[in-house]
Each structure stands twice: as C-alpha cells, then as structure tokens.
Amino acid sequence: MLHVTRTGLGYVTWNTNQRQLQRGLVANTMRQLHCKFCEYASRKTDRKLLYSDDVCVAMESKNPRAEVHVLVLPVKHHGSITALTRKDLPLLRRMCDVCDLLLRDRQVEIRAVGFHRPPFHSVEHLHMHCIGGKYRPWLQTLRYWSGTPWFVSVTEVVDEIKKR
C-alpha cells in the first residue's frame, strides 16, 4: 500500500521506500496531490491570475526580482524544460505570446524571459519567468541572469529541443 505524507518542510515522503522528493515533485498520475502550480493552473485556489486560457495561465511571482516578474505556466503538467519535446514547441510559443502581451501592457523593458534549468528550479512544474523593468539589487537577481548554467532563455530551450 502506498502512503503519502508531507513533512513540515514541504517534502513528500513515499513510505513504500522512504524516498524524499523535491517539493512539488510527484508522479504524473498523482501530480495534483501536491503540485501547487497544478492547483493554480486548474484555478482551484484563490491566487489571482493575470491571464488564463485553455493552454496556460500567468500570475505575479511571489518573490519578484524586478519591477515586473510574471510567471507563465502551462495548464497541463510538465515537470521542467527537460521533459519538453518537439510536440511542445507550440506550447512554448503560446507562453511567449502571453509573456509578451503582459509585459507590453505594463509598458516595461523586457529584461529576461526564460526558465531555470534543473536542478536549479524551485517547483517541479514548468514555468517561464517574464521579467521587465528595473531589477531589484543585483545579488537578488543573479538567479535570473541569462547565459548562466542555471537560467536559460526561451531561444536556448527551443534550440536544445530541436537538437534532440
């Protein structure tokens, strides 16, 4: 029998083998059990959404690193950029369109649009960071610098997918 519990730190413990998984990470068939972003995407919480359609949703980051810091995430669960295939390229295009729309509406300069590369991502649900306007102090924004091993632009992700 599979028994799932949560610890105070937000970790999921599978009692069948006592394996601890990263916060938010569960098997696809059980993803809704603990994936907070799945709850947001399926509109099961009171979290304010800036944009919503059948493909993706957008919301403000809880920890903004710039004047504007929006997260765009797909409604359908994808673990991270490493789970994407060529079939997901239209999804990335749609996410970019939503990001562009939201940043243009706020009339801010686009600073960074991209993803954290595993294992540097904080939530095991694909989400695009759309950052615009003035950055917060530089050290706080280091996680979102393009060209680093931990943050990759959408263009880099698309190129990686096409090479697979």
The catalytic residues are 129
Angle at 65 between CA 60 and CA 71, to 5 degrees: 30
CA distances from 110 to 5, 107, 149 (A): 41, 9, 21
- Of 78, 4, 85, the closest CA to residue 41 belongs to 78
